[in-house]
Amino acid sequence: MRASLSWNQPGTETGGRHNEGNALNNLGLALREVRRFEEAITANQDAAAIYRETGGRHREGGALNNLGLAPRYVRRSEEAITAHQDAAAIYRETEDRHRQGTALNNLEQDRTEQNREKQER
């Protein structure tokens, strides 16, 4: 039983870091919901970095997709576009067509927002 639970223990490098990534990714979503966009961006960036470090490629795609949502609210469409492009590429690589479609849909919304920003300048 002890070996099967070791991934969830704070002292294990991969499991602890992976769980930290999960917590940061969820925190980013919660912060976006309460309109604390800069903090949400940082949390999702940190989550993506942890997943990248621990080899959680699919979860990295999720963190990047979430990362792309907050910059829209602070008029940073280029950052949103980059995050959603990266997420779509990861989902393509991991053959998750549903999430790839979600990231591509978000990317199209980012480009629409980018056009609005350009027109307002």
44-73 tens-digit pLDDT? 999 999 999 999 999 999 999 999 999 989
Q: Which helix (H) or strand (E) holds 96?
A: none
Q: Domain locations in the chain? A: 14-120
Give the pTM: 0.84
CA distance 21 to 26: 9
In CATH terms, the superfamily for domain 14-120 is Tetratricopeptide repeat domain (1.25.40.10)
At residue 5, the pLDDT reads 32
In contact, 72 and 113? CB cutoff 8 Å: yes
CA distance 116 to 3: 54
At residue 9, the pLDDT reads 40
At residue 90, the pLDDT reads 98
